[in-house]
Amino acid sequence: MSDATLTAPVGRPTKQTVMIYTRYERFWHWSQAVLIFVLAMSGFGLHGTHGLVPFGLAVKVHSFAAIALIVLWIFTTFWHFTTGQWRQYLPKLSGLPAVIRFYAWGILTGAPHPYTKTLKRKQNALQSLAYLSFMVIIGPALWSSGIVYLTYPWWAHAAIGTIGLPAVAFIHTAAAFLMVTFVMIHVYMTTTGKTPTHYVKTMITGYDTIELTAAEAAYLAEEEREKPRL
Amino acid sequence: MRGATRILARVAAALLIVVGTSAFSAAAEGEGAAHETAAAAPPTPIAGQKSGALSGGTADHSKFKALEGPFADGSEVTKACLTCHTEAGKHVMKSIHWTWDYTNPKTGQKLGKKNVINNFCTNAKGNEGMCAQCHAGYGWKDDTFDFKDETKIDCLVCHDRTATYYKLPNSHGHDACGVMFEGKEPIDFAKVAQHVGLPGRENCGGCHFNGGGGDGVKHGDLDSSLLKAPKTLDVHMSPDGANFACTQCHVSDKHMIAGSRYDMVAKDEKGLPKPGERRDVASCESCHGAKPHPKASLIGLQLDTHAERIACQTCHIPKMARGGVGTMTDWDWATAGRMIDGKGYAEENYTQGDGKERHTYWTIKGSFKWGENLTPTYKWFDGRMLYTTADAKIDDAKLPVAINSVMGSPDEKNARIWPFKEMHTNVPWDPKNKTLVFNHLWGKDDTAFWGNFDIVKSVAAGMKLENRPFSGEVGFLPTVSNWPITHMVAPKGDAVKCAECHTEKSRLAGLPGIWMPGHSTFRWLDILGYLAFAGTLAGILIHTLARIFMRKPTTGEH
Ligand code: HEM
């Protein structure tokens, strides 16, 4: 694992293969990916979009996957705050126009990506904005409406004669459509790296080759020796 | 269905003799077919039926001196019964089986067979000689019947356990009707009296399986197939299942029997009685509880929640008339009275599941349609039925006119979605006064429809008997009546599947106030969503193509 060996003299930036995504982050990312895929398939199955899963089975799968996802989110929220990684989602709006220009045009003509991944800053401006909206709007809208939907047995009696259930279903379905759209764009974006599979590999192995300042490199070397890996 | 039309041409009166027995039993709830059942199946009572707490018994009626006989008629047997069962007479006389008269406490409407007009043989009133075969009494043929005479109670029709007892019409019909039951074994009253017991399915079924004029005609969930039902047809009544007699659920206290269709509980939130307590209701919940589905299971929890809005029957009775006996779905009185060579006739162009032929036309009644394995119609129901009574002014702008309107809306907490059999009939009515009419069908006189076939004359006579205004004109009005479905509960594995409702072409499609994932959607949200989906896909495709065709070597983000 530890190929982040210090080779360059202090004071000059170096290119090194370092761990960008910790083990927990990768676990979180991929289990969330699987759960959301399962939820989308079962959710739109029971919604009537496709007939691949019988209704009763879809309800079961959707409910249990939802509970698993909620548990995962609770852990991850905890992780984000204890590790301070939540800061990754704070968008730096000044960088936004350049990133948008890149994806709209530059990427086609082979221009360099305006953003450079650093150890402290894993996401570009567009990414963090996208992930932020995912984390604070689409995600919460989906899981909060989902939880209310899931607990219908306990408020069914009170909801008689109200629009409660359709309202919850509306929010949940709308957020689900946004989620699917987000995921499609997200998956496509992962093919825009150096090679179409570059980013995916990074998210699997956790490692990427990026430029480090001398200070970062020195710090990393120290870390590698002392820190138990998460 | 047999293709060839079998025409039984006969003198109208003469056909009453032969085919008459079953289908002649007329008007409302269950008439006249004790004899039909007896003719179809050899007289052996079905053993081992359960009647709830009352089962067992401590007396052998064959050992009682009072029952030694001989008895000249049923009424003499009743007198003997009353010598021990001193209060039974008073009790029976309060029951609807005796009074045929019922005022609904929720709607204030005066109902009961004595009062209502339905869309089968339309009215018992004025036709008692025939219809009151299914009255739990002896000799009601007109208004002179004495409802205070205990000795006129018919104990045996409900309590005979020999399956040899039967009832005859109380008066003569037209001409040849006098010989209608010729050839039947005379009843051995002493034997029957000595073998009485708790009512079995044969007893109740004698009338209630034959409502509307024959086996299965009226209800769709009550017919002779329930006598020896396979478990797939009815888990409760099947001898291979619980082998319940009707009274296991329709419990009684002092001969007042729970579970009348005139006063229903659409949503029983009390559920199981407390230990030692007894609840006099015939609801599913009174035995199964209000939360009957598997505990500690997600689907069980969801199904219990369904029960908040959906009657048990809606899922657990997947189809009606499943036992091989057809139920009537359409009836057209307008075609009644046709003759071939001056003679009445019948056609039997429907062969039901058990192989028996059913009438599709009969001169005295008109044309019929039948069905089996039918999907019920679903409606919100809060337990109230509003009847179109004889004095109602009919609004014929919206057809068909409901003979009984199922009341209830999704906004009411005590309303649930229930299954119903709809019966569609063209009934005679008075198009000038805009009322339903009493039709005088049965009798030896020259106005009775069955024999004279003059509907204006017979309706005039029926209306005169009731002292009701009649314009002199008879038309035919499309009507629908609604019969709640509650018997023929299938094994749990055969219950309606989720996807039969949670789908676009749902069983419950069109009902107001429902939100069912898989069926209900916000159309424009779906359209927007699918557009976003397709748009994104298209965008990705175009972007990919552009990348492939325009791009120099990769220089993505580092
Ligand atoms: C914590 C997360 C989630 C929870 C608690 C949740 C819960 C639920 C529940 C209880 C239902 C109703 C199912 C039923 O009828 O029994 C539902 C429906 C649905 N869910 Fe989810 N869900 C979650 C996440 C998702 C995700 C990630 C998606 C898709 C990307 C999704 C898409 C849908 C869709 C399309 C429906 C059908 C809505 C309708 O037609 O009414 N859900 N969800």
Q: pLDDT tens for residues B167-220?
A: 888 888 876 444 456 677 889 999 999 999 999 999 999 999 999 989 999 999
3-state secondary structure (DSSP) of residue B16: helix
Is residue A149 in a domain? yes
With respect to residue A4, please indicate whether it lies within any of the assigned structural domains: no
- Asked whether residue A6 is assigned to any structural domain, the reply reads no
Number of structural domains (chain A) is 1
Q: Is the CB of A59 under 6 A from ligand 1?
A: yes
Picking from B366, B459, B96, B68, the residue whose alpha carbon sits closest to that of residue B257 is B96
Q: Which tokens in the block code for residue A126?
A: 């567009």
The DSSP line for B48-107 is: T-B-GGG-S-S--GGG-GGG----SSHHHHHHHHHHHSTTHHHHHTTSHHHH--EE-TTT
Query: What CATH number does residue A210 fall under?
Result: 1.20.950.20
Nearest Cα residue to B177 out of B8, B348, B368, B11? B11
Q: Are A122 and A89 in contact (CB under 8 A)?
A: no
Please compute the mean of the pLDDT values over residues A125-136 and round it to a whole number: 69
Report ipTM (2 d.p.).
0.82
Distance from CA of A194 to the nearest CA of B (A): 5
- Distance to chain B for A201, nearest Cα, Å: 13
Query: Using a 6 Å cutoff on CB, does residue A176 contact ligand 1?
Result: yes
Residue with the larger pLDDT of the pair B44 and B222: B222
Closest chain A C-alpha to B329 CA, distance in angstroms? 32
Note whether residue A2 is domain-resident: no
| Distance from the A49 Cα atom to the nearest Cα atom in chain B, whole angstroms | 8
Is residue A1 in a domain? Answer: no
Cβ of A165 less than 6 Å from ligand 1: no
B497 CB neighbour count, 10 Å cutoff: 14
Q: What is the pLDDT of residue B26?
A: 34
B187: left (phi over 0), alpha (psi -120 to 50) or beta: beta
* CA geometry: angle A2, A5, A8, nearest 5 deg: 160
The per-residue pLDDT for range B344-381, each reduced to its tens digit, is: 899 999 999 999 999 999 999 999 999 999 999 999 99
Render pLDDT for A63-72 as a digit per residue (tens, 0 to 9): 999 999 999 9
Q: Quickly state the pLDDT bin for B80 (edges 50, 70, 90).
A: very high
* Domain interval for residue A33: 12-155+164-225
| Pocket lining: A70 vs ligand 1, CB cutoff 6 Å | yes
Res A134: pLDDT = 75
Is the Cβ atom of A61 under 6 angstroms away from ligand 1? no
> Does ligand 1 have an atom closer than 6 angstroms to the CB of A169?
yes
Span B93-108, mean pLDDT?
92
Domain-embedded: residue A128: yes
User: Cβ contacts (< 8 Å) between B308 and chain A: which residues?
Assistant: 156-157, 160
CA of B347 to the centre of ligand 1 (A): 56
Residue B502 is nearest to which of A55, A113, A192, comparing CB atoms?
A: A55
Stated as kind and residue range, the H or E segment containing A208 is strand A207-212
Q: What separation in Å is there between the alpha carbon of A174 and the centre of ligand 1?
A: 10
Written as one string, the DSSP assignment of B280-349 is: ----THHHH-S--SPTT-HHHHHHHHHTTTB-HHHHH--SBS-SS--EEEEEEGGGTT--BTTB-EEE--
Residue A47 and residue B518: Cβ atoms within 8 Å? yes
Task: Check if B552 contacts A (Cβ < 8 Å).
Answer: yes
A193:B413 CB<8 A:
no
Residue B369 half-sphere exposure toward CB, CA atoms < 13 A: 10
Q: From CA A13, how far away is CA A17, in angstroms rounded?
A: 13
Query: Can you tell me the distance from the alpha carbon of B243 to that of B7, in angstroms, rounded to the nearest whole number?
Result: 40
Residue A5 forms part of a structural domain: no
pLDDT-derived band at B229 (thresholds 50, 70, 90) equals: very high
Residues of B in contact with A185 (CB under 8 A): 536, 540
The better pLDDT of the pair B93, A101 is held by: B93
Any domain includes A52:
yes
Q: Which of A46, A107, A210 has the CB atom closest to B517's CB atom? A: A46
Q: What SS3 string covers B464-530?
A: HHCCCCCCCCCEEEEEEEEEECCCCCCCHHHCCCHHHHCCCCCCCCCCCCCCCCCCCCCHHHHHHHH
Band of residue A20 on the pLDDT scale cut at 50, 70, 90: confident
Nearest-Cα residue of chain B relative to residue A102: B556
